[in-house]
Amino acid sequence: MPDTPVNGETPQNAASASARPEPILDVQNLSVAYGGVTAVAGVSFHVGPGELVGVIGPNGAGKSSTLLALAGAVRGKADRLTFEGTSLLGRKPEQIARSGFALVPEGHHIFGALSVSDNLRLGEVARRDRAGLATTREWVLELFPILREFLGRPAGLLSGGQQQQLAIARALLSEPRLLVLDEPSLGLSPTAIDTVFEAIAAVQQAGTAVLLVEQRAQQTVAAAARTHVLGEGRITMTLGPADATDAELLAKAYLGS
């Protein structure tokens, strides 16, 4: 697949833009700077309803900064930054989190002293529909059976992979329309990584849109409808599932060359 311009949308995408459904997340020309350091330099991409979209790239490419700007945790500038048609610019992280946008940040951010069950309850606080909540809880525990087994155990005693499952499960309990994951495979064993990727596929198949930031290029490209390669704050390529078997292309994408 050829390199794409800075905006990262393929020409085909651009041509069919009028035909595609309204994106759930629309990012146009997003930039993030920390003082004089530019971390994200004009990134554009979209996530359609129920789509899984990937973002890969080496350390320091600007992946986390992009997600933090979407979630309102750092201030970004953009021509357009909308979630379900509403601008995210200038909104507070807690407002964004309550609007159906769930970010699972890098690292697990679970509460180690609390039980698995109590950690899960924290994901339920904004839910008003108690009947629907019971269904979601059951679905989440089916996705991550290990959590059901350890409901009464302090979350700090779980393995890294189990803690990551807990963090994703907690986010799903808020019943987000968009689940945003920042490097969920980081530090996990190969088996735990497979479990996390299987769960992400199941989440998407259940109709939730997913924005997945990863360093596991091959698995991400295989799973996502589109995977944008980020290098030095810019989208340098956009890959499709068929590219997942092209080792040379993936290496080039990963090395940012």
| Least CB distance to ligand ATP at residue 21 (A) | 29
| Least CB distance to ligand ATP at residue 197 (A) | 18
256 binds ligand ATP (CB under 6 A): no
Q: Kindly identify the residues of this chain, within the stretch 28-57, that bind ligand ATP according to CB under 6 A.
A: 34, 37, 39, 57
What backbone phi and psi angles, to 5 degrees, belong to 95? -65, -45
62 binds ligand ATP (CB under 6 A): yes
From 61, 78, 88, 102, residue interacting with ligand ATP (rule: CB under 6 A): 61
Q: Kindly identify the residues of this chain, within the stretch 65-94, that bind ligand ATP according to CB under 6 A.
A: 65
Q: How many residues in the shown chain lie near ligand ATP by CB under 6 A?
A: 11
Nearer to ligand ATP, 151 or 255 (CB): 255
| Least CB distance to ligand ATP at residue 201 (A) | 22
| Least CB distance to ligand ATP at residue 185 (A) | 12
Piece in contact with ligand ATP (CB under 6 A), picked from 4-12, 63-71, 133-141, 241-249: 63-71
63 binds ligand ATP (CB under 6 A): yes
Nearer to ligand ATP, 61 or 147 (CB): 61
227 binds ligand ATP (CB under 6 A): no
Pairing type for strands 37-47 and 25-34 reads antiparallel
DSSP collapsed to 3 states, 2-60: CCCCCCCCCHHHHHCCCCCCCCCEEEEEEEEEECCEEEEEEEEEEECCCCEEEEECCCC
Footprint of ligand ATP on this chain (CB under 6 A)? Answer: 34, 37, 39, 57, 59-65
